[in-house]
Amino acid sequence: MADQSHADSSPRPSRNSSGKGSVLSRRYAAGAGGVRGLLITVLGDYLRPARQPAPTSAFIDVLGRLGVAEAACRQALIRAAADGWLVSTREGRYSWWQLSPAFEQFLVLGASRIFGFTATQPEWDRRWLMVLARVPESNRGARHLLHKRLGWSGFGRPAPGVWVSTHTDRIKEAELILQEAGAHEQSQIFLAEYLGGAGLPTLIRQAWDLDSIEREYESFIADFSRQPSADPLVRFTRLVHRWRRMPLIDPVLPKELLPARWSGARAARLFHRQHGRWESAAAREWARISRQAG
């Protein structure tokens, strides 16, 4: 049964529920864990492609299969609506949820990043984007934001205050991060070329922990080379939710800068193969549980 009115007071839409001012949590970009993170994956995997509102019962069902208690699911929906992700409507005793236009676009952009991710930068002109960022030790909040956001954007830190990336198209992104950290006026951004000195493999190892990233890929391959569950919703949601983390921990370096047998490429092929195999069954099961209201 779908959710009834006495148990679910639908939150009022956020006053910023549309447009650029929407309260869109950075948890999506951060690959959020916990219930909110799983809800984001469910919204992107099922609600967005279906293009139909879904009852509360559908979310309780799918998240329950993933070990989330009903109360936690309801709370996550309420918070999502307050953040401008969802809009709720009523039909009799039941609440139905659909994406806000702004968050739907946000999910589209996120999906393009996830499904376009191949764990290797296809083209590189051998130039580097370099950021010299100075934030006082005393400003811990700004330092944390800077480190976290530049890391999400694929920058590595080979030395204190120095950030590098092979993605020279991320200048505007770097500027925005510096502005948000309040460090723009004390920082510089350069396009640079490697000319000599210690070899690039040394720089790579100083800037990024490739061994840790490789272990993540190997774990993904081990877990999803076989079917992790007979439940179509569980296996598909786990696959996408796990893969959503990979673009956030991998700087996506050019092939010539990666180890000879980089497991990221194998993991990407596995993801796309299993996604193609499991998507249709998951979509059918979501459609079934979404029709159960009343």
Domain-wise residue ranges, the chain: 5-114, 127-193, 214-288
288 backbone dihedrals φ, ψ, rounded to 5°: -65, -50
Question: Which of 49-53, 68-72, 187-191, 245-249 is predicted least confidently?
Answer: 245-249
Task: Indicate the burial class of 195 (C-beta count within 10 angstroms; 0-12, 13-18, 19 or more).
Answer: exposed
pLDDT at 3 over 80: no
**What is the model's pLDDT at position 33?**
66
Topology at the third CATH level for domain 127-193:
Alpha-Beta Plaits (3.30.70)
- What is the reported pTM? 0.83
Residue 166's pLDDT band (boundaries 50, 70, 90)? very high
Q: How confident is the model at residue 18, as a pLDDT?
A: 32
Average pLDDT, the chain: 87
> By mean pLDDT, which of 71-75, 102-106, 110-114, 215-219 is the weakest?
110-114
Residue 179 confidence (pLDDT): 92
Compare 23 and 154 and report the one with higher pLDDT: 154
Inform me whether the pLDDT recorded for 14 exceeds 90: no
| pLDDT of amino acid 24 | 33
Domain 5-114 fold: Arc Repressor Mutant, subunit A (1.10.10)
Mean pLDDT of 166-176: 95
Q: CB within 8 A of 233, min separation 6: which ones?
A: 62, 65, 282, 285, 286
Question: pLDDT tens digits for 181-200?
Answer: 888 988 999 999 999 888 99
The per-residue pLDDT for 89 is 92
- CB–CB of 101/22 below 8 Å? no
| Average pLDDT over every residue of 89-103 | 91
Region 139-159 average pLDDT? 91
Beta bridge partners of 132: 162, 188
**Is the model's pLDDT at 23 over the cut of 60?**
no
For range 59-72, the mean pLDDT: 97
Query: Closest Cα partner for 182 from 137, 134, 130?
Result: 134
Question: What confidence score (pLDDT) does residue 30 get?
Answer: 46
Q: Is the pLDDT of residue 20 over 60?
A: no
